Structure formats: C-alpha cells, structure tokens
Structure 1
C-alpha cells in the first residue's frame, strides 16, 4: 500500500506556525513602541503634588516582600497598644522603690514610689502621692519602643498622651526615672509628679512626630492636645511621602507599570509620584534620616524639623532639610543644645550622630548614604554591601572608594588582618557617641570617620573629655603610650 504524500503549502503562503512566529515579535514590537511613546510623552512623574496618605497596608498590596520585612521591624512596632506581645516591662507585680538618696520619709523607705500591674485586661502604673500611702493609677494607653527602653503613655481627658515618669530599661531589666537619669538629678517623689505636669511630657507635641507617620496636631495647647496619625509607627510614607497618586497610577492599568519600569530602570527617572531616596540628591534623600537620628537640632531650627514632611512640596520640590544640617559650629561648651560636644570639638551625644556623619569627608566628598549600611525596611538587619554585614568584619564597603589600600591593609592598619584594629571602622568610627537614653550609659560608633585616631587630644583634654580609638581597644595602656605609638607609625594623613 502506497503512503500518502503530504501536501506542501503553495508558494507565498504561510503556515499557522509560521504566522505565529511573526505575530509574537510583532505584538512585542508594538508594545515596546507604545511604551516608548507613553514614556516619551508622559509628563513628569512629579507633576502632581497634592497626594494624600494611604497607609502602609495599601503599600503592602504591591510591595509584599518589603512590607512583610518591615512589618516585624522596630520601625513598624515603635508605637503600639499595650498587649502581652508589646509590653516588655514588669506589669505582673512590678514595683519601683526610690533610690536611697531620694528618700525623705519613713514612707519612702517602706513603700514603692510606683506599682505596675494589670487589671481587667488593662495595664496600669500607679504613682504614690507624696507624704502619703495612697496611689493614683494611670492607665497605660500606648507603649513606645522595646529594644532599649519602653515608654508608657496615658491619655488624659483633654487628649494629651502624657508620658509617665518611669520607663523600662531593657538592659537593666528594671524601671528608671528617665529624665532624672538624663539630667543626673535625684528622682524625688515630688519631682516625678512635677514631670507629669510639664509641657515636655506631652508626648503628642514633643515626641510623636518621630514615632508615628503623618502626625496631625489638632490643638497645640499642652493641656488639650488632640492628634491623629495615619500609621502608629515609622511606616512607608514616613520616608517616601504620601502615596495616593503613586498607588492610583500603578493600579489603574498595566501599561503604566511598564512605562514606569522603562522610565525608572532604563532611564533612571524618579519613581512615579513618590519620593525614592536612591533617585534623589543626597541631601534630600538623607533628610528623612536626619529628621530623627541625631540632626543637631537647635532652638532656631526646631520648628523646621518638626514641620518637615517627606516627599514633594506643594510647589513640586522634594522637601529638603540639608540647608539646616549645620547650623552651629561644633564648639565645646555649647549651650544650644547642651553637653553634645567633646572638649576637642568632636560630636558627643546620641543626638549628634547624624551631625557626626555630615562632618565627614565620606558625606562631603562621596555618595555615602545611611541606607548603604542600615536597612531602612528592617532597621535591625544589615544592609548589603554596607559594613554591617553578618560577619561584621569586612572592609569591602570602604575599599570601594579607597582602592589604593586594598593590597596594603596590614601596612596601613598596623594590625594583623582579621583582628580588632584591622577593620576600617575600628579606628575611623570608634565608640565615641555617648548614649544615656537606656538607663545605662553606653557608647556607639561615631560616624565622623575622621582621617586618623588622635590620642593627642586625649593627652591635652583628658581621656574622660576626649576619648580616642587607640585606648578604646588598648584599655590597659596609657594615653601617652597611644600618642607614642601613633607617632612611631608615621602614617600618611588622609588615607
């Protein structure tokens, strides 16, 4: 039986398969042409500036991975209602006695100044009245923080969220009188009550802007301070600005998403209708960090920082705090603000940590940015390729710029590779920033990134007034030894 021969298509005709081969590229080309057309004719992404805040949950609908990462971060959980999961202080049978130097009566020796307890699902801090055995209970309505210390707020009838005088120190695992510890003053019982009446304890007015997103103060009277916020905590729009136009644009159709990809990824243009720090000028981008992380705020700039909002202004410019980064010289004995500068003019207090950074050449002459090392979406996770890598022992980030040192690290550091002192930050970012906010004095790394450790200043002013990197590690050695050691190295300044 003979086999049937397959019919061949007539010349000049195409099979379905061949047609599909042409159809798909044609469609793809059409899409690309449309995208390029839209991308070319599309007016500036920053053309509408009246966006509204939409809340972090709306952001999470698209940015799922980042949202979930942020959701468990300290930023997200800064301001919370008191629950078994959020309260870290002892409210089971908590009590706080006045320290010996603050006791002025037999009652002070016998009775706690405060009791912390739970009742009917609520948390209470009860303060004892002076010269009395009676306690006045204050219901805890919000808790602030949890990593280093926890603040407790009670809401008064007039709307004020009043900061209670005792806070929980995570390191001490005990309560302490925060403001007395800050001022190095005696926490008498009458002083604790006086703190409850101070305008500074109206958390709504003086602290809430850095612990919430889009805080709106409805009344500025310290006795009647109603406020609203979009997110309790440091949420997406606290750094990226209001997102309603951004969300509407991307959710309206898929073409907009493709256009945004072309403009953003291929052309390097700003992200549609939202502030995105990597696409911003350095000062603009870091304004969101500076606002709360040690910007050296003075009385002259206090209102500027308090009213700053991220994102675009009504005129279409990114709101920028960088003109206010340096308002006063770093001079010892400054009174505005106080005790923030070492005797040799180096930044001292935790409220100066960002100021220390902008004093550095890494800020002035390079493009070093906070989020190179600190992950803003999970502010306890290390960023890559920053120096805060999981090993915490890497010079890779610094060597991206200081390439001439890559093959001569041992010669430069005078320390064996892989040991303390061989890492850039050991000498150029020593622990010289004093923090007393946790109830335990501690030091964190300065971000000044000075050219060389200078034990000579410690010799001039005293180690307690001008610390240095050398004796931080070599605590068993004298300042004179450190001075001689550095002189003997005869290293090149500025490397």
Structure 2
C-alpha cells in the first residue's frame, strides 16, 4: 500500500469517526440524574468494564466477606486450643481451654466453654469477614442472625484474640466471652454488615436481635456499593450502541455525568465524599443514624438520600470518650480509627481545597501488594502532595521548606502534616496510622499543655528523645511559629 493511499484511508477513518460521533451526539437518548434502578451485581459490570473489574475482584473490598472454607479461613483451626491470658486468670481452673478451633471435614468449628454447664458448645462458622489485619467468624443461628463469635484472628499476632476486650481494655473471662454473643451489636447482619456487603436489606427483625430476615446483593463491597444500583445504566448502554459512542464524547470531552450511575469524579464533591464516608466515617452514623440508614450512593429516590456531607462535622470532637473508635486527643483532634475520615474533613485540603478520596486512593485496587502506596503515601515520594502543591517540587525547594535534606525522614510531606496519630486497633495490636488532618503541623504547644502522651505532635514522633519545648523552639526558629511557654 502506498503512503498516499494510507494517508487517504486514515483521513477517511477519522472523517467516519467524526461523522459517526456527530451523528451519535444528535441521536443518543437523554437521561436524568434522578431515577430509580435495581441492583444487578458486579458480574454485570464486568461485562463491559473488564479491566477495572479484574482489578477489583482480587481486592480486599471484593473479598471482605466469604463463605467459610479451608481456603478462606486464615486463623489456626488445626485442632487449636485457646486459653485465657495469664493476666486474666483468677484460679487454677482458668488455665483450662475456654475455646477450641478445628475443621469438621471442610467446615471450620469454634467450640466455646459454657461456664454454667462446663461443656464446650460447637458453633459452625458460616461466613468469614476480613483477612488482611484480622478475621471475624460468623455463625448463622436458626433465627437468621449471623452471630459474631467472640474470638477473632489477629494476622499481626498470628493468634486468636478476644477482640472486644482488647478494644475496651477489659479483662476477658469465659463468662464474658459467652455474654458477648448476646449483645445487640453481635448480630452482624443487623449492624456491621451494612459496610461489609453490597446493599444490605433488613426485611424484619425482633427487638432482641435473635430473629432476622436479611439479604444482600452480594458479599463484599461490590461495584454497586459505591456506584449505586446499575440496572438502568446497563440497559441504557446494552440496547443502543449510539449511546455508547455519545457517552464517550459527553463524559470524556464534555465532563458530563455518566448515565444512570454514580461516577465519583462526575458527582458534586459532597456526594462523592459521601460514598467513602458512610463506612470510613462511623461518627456520621452516631450523629445522624437515620440519614446514614437512608443513604444510597449517587442518586435520589423516594425515602433515600445521596449526600451525607451536611453531617460530616455534626458529631462533636470532644476528649474523654471511652470508645476507642471515635476517641479524640486531649486537644480535640481525631484519634480513633473511626475518625480517620473526620480528620480529613477537618483538614485544609478539604476546607480550603478540592481534595477527594480517590485523588490519592484507588478503591478498585486497595492495598494490593503489587501496588504499594495506594492507601498511604510511598515511603520515598511526595508525589501525592506535589500534584497540588507544585511550588515544593524539587530537592532544593523541599529542603528549604522542611529544613530536612530531601529524601530523608522529615522531608516527606506526610512526616509533618500527616503524622501517625490515629489509633488503629483493627489488627488486634496497638499501632498508629497517619492522620488525614492535613493542615498546619500538629503543634508542640498542645503537647506542652496536656503532655505528649495525651496530645502528640509531629516533631516528637521522630525526635522522641527531645522535649515538646525543644520542638516548639525549632518551629519558632524556622517559621516564627509560637512561643515556647505553650501559650496560644
């Protein structure tokens, strides 16, 4: 084929695409942002969105809830006995096992001591929740309640832990472990499941949470948990190819919303952030339980809301709570892991900027080993922050701003602006993850006033051998920021 002929055919192809695109823009079906739809399941999404579907289906979001089997259980069920920790034993009898774990064929079983009879009662495990940090075990009762068993597997410890005793700082006992199975919030499919499955539907329940008629579209956090029910979206594109061509132009070139589905970047910011906040901001549920229960992402229909942002700052930030999930530091800064989203809402990146969760986080490939840095900044990069704060690009600019040599600890944005001060007990160990309160550096003045253990600061996180007064003096020398005496 001659070069002239190739150019002619290429020009013809471009012209055809332009004409076809123009035709599509005049012939595609209009759609509305207010609609009703049914859930179709993530597999239906995968028919078209093949690449992102393959990424998602191997992610922790997709694998959050699974049927219990030898391949999904990560805890030690090899005829394992569990005894109370030595510190919890009050007599020689307390050294005897209070739980045993085993497989009955391929079915995992947890046996728990009934102190009133001295017998071990068997509880078959029907569902498992989680696998990265810890794993929770659920037993389906005759009344339809999936009961959370009191011992959970800590991946970090490689051991079973009485998780709620650990959370509360209380002493476990055989009687207490048994009692934990009769609390209202141990009925998993009436509480926690809302964030562990896609579209939990509670048809009925009794007041004692012993009987429940519940269902969900699919286990785990599926596509529609974040994008909303997809039947209208699927039908719109399946029956008319012109809609597909027009959508590419409208969505990519014109920035218009995607038809009949919630696509984060196309939503108003409050609606977009609401998708993540529903599960990563439990303080919203505590402040506005009814709004939380009525929420459905991306669109409105009767009895539903799609924007939780009016409630983002509703729950008071106050120190002294005993619930570690929503705990605050002595100066009112968010501390508990349940306040991680709230720490972002209190940040300058939220209030003074346009930051959204997916600017830094990939919800489809969250925490995959082959993609480090998706949910926390890489240990060797300021790339996330420099995408907006371009003035600090380059080694000289970083060194001048941070007073630490580029590439060393203290030169990364998150070392000072996102210190590890969010208490995370999820793994059954006490560790801290990075706050998202990306504003001014957490101030040594609070540490001087309340003590560094009650109000930590970014400087002393690294310089633990120095005093808060020393840290404040360095800040004053570098940025003229405050007085050593701790006054505001």
TM-score (norm 1): 0.89
1:299 and 1:336 in contact (8 A); partners too? no
Q: 1:289 aligns with which of 276, 284, 293?
A: 276
Distance 1:203 1:173 in 2: 24
**Which string of whole-angstrom CA distances, capped at 9 and with x for unpartnered residues, describes residues 218-260 of structure 1?**
2132110121111100010000000011111111132110011
Q: Segments of 4+ in structure 1 off by > 4 A?
A: 19-30, 315-318, 334-339, 381-389
Distance 1:332 1:402 in 2: 32
SS for the counterpart of 1:444 is: strand
Distance 1:43 1:485 in 2: 60
1:176 and 1:439 in contact (8 A); partners too? yes
Distance 1:107 1:387 in 2: 46
Distance 1:313 1:355 in 2: 24
Deviates more, 1:430-439 or 1:237-246: 430-439
Distance 1:379 1:21 in 2: 41
SS for the counterpart of 2:110 is: strand
User: For the structure 1 residues 116 and 383, does the alpha-carbon distance in structure 2 shift closer, same or farther, using more than 3 Å as the test?
Assistant: closer
Is 1:487 aligned to residue 476 of structure 2?
A: yes
**Which string of whole-angstrom CA distances, capped at 9 and with x for unpartnered residues, describes residues 359-410 of structure 1?**
0110112111111111100111498997956x53222332333333335221
Partner of 1:10 in structure 2? none
Partner of 1:404 in structure 2? 391
Shift of 1:327: 0.6
Is 1:377 aligned to residue 364 of structure 2?
A: yes
Distance 2:14 2:252 in 1: 22
User: For the structure 1 residues 317 and 91, does the alpha-carbon distance in structure 2 shift closer, same or farther, using more than 3 Å as the test?
Assistant: closer
Partner of 2:438 in structure 1? 449
Is 1:165 aligned to residue 150 of structure 2?
A: yes
Partner of 1:9 in structure 2? none
Distance 1:91 1:70 in 2: 29
Distance 1:462 1:116 in 2: 44
Deviates more, 1:329-338 or 1:391-400: 329-338
* Greater radius of gyration (CA): 1
Partner of 2:3 in structure 1? none
TM-score (norm 2): 0.90
User: For the structure 1 residues 249 and 129, does the alpha-carbon distance in structure 2 shift closer, same or farther, using more than 3 Å as the test?
Assistant: same
Shift of 1:279: 0.4
Shift of 1:277: 0.5
Partner of 1:261 in structure 2? 248
Q: 1:63 aligns with which of 49, 65, 74?
A: 49
Is 1:97 aligned to residue 83 of structure 2?
A: yes
Deviates more, 1:23-32 or 1:99-108: 23-32
**Which string of whole-angstrom CA distances, capped at 9 and with x for unpartnered residues, describes residues 177-211 of structure 1?**
11111111111111111111111100011100000
Partner of 1:200 in structure 2? 185
User: For the structure 1 residues 233 and 482, does the alpha-carbon distance in structure 2 shift closer, same or farther, using more than 3 Å as the test?
Assistant: same
Distance 1:436 1:20 in 2: 63
1:105 and 1:131 in contact (8 A); partners too? no
1:140 and 1:152 in contact (8 A); partners too? yes
Is 1:270 aligned to residue 266 of structure 2?
A: no
SS for the counterpart of 2:460 is: helix
Shift of 1:296: 1.9
Partner of 1:31 in structure 2? 20
User: For the structure 1 residues 113 and 65, does the alpha-carbon distance in structure 2 shift closer, same or farther, using more than 3 Å as the test?
Assistant: same
Is 1:365 aligned to residue 327 of structure 2?
A: no
**Which string of whole-angstrom CA distances, capped at 9 and with x for unpartnered residues, describes residues 28-48 of structure 1?**
554233212125xx433425x
Distance 1:432 1:21 in 2: 58
Partner of 2:415 in structure 1? 426
User: For the structure 1 residues 342 and 167, does the alpha-carbon distance in structure 2 shift closer, same or farther, using more than 3 Å as the test?
Assistant: same
Deviates more, 1:115-124 or 1:296-305: 296-305
Distance 1:56 1:43 in 2: 25
Distance 2:70 2:175 in 1: 31
Consecutive unaligned residues of structure 2, counting only runs of 5 or more, are 1-5, 483-488
Partner of 1:475 in structure 2? 464
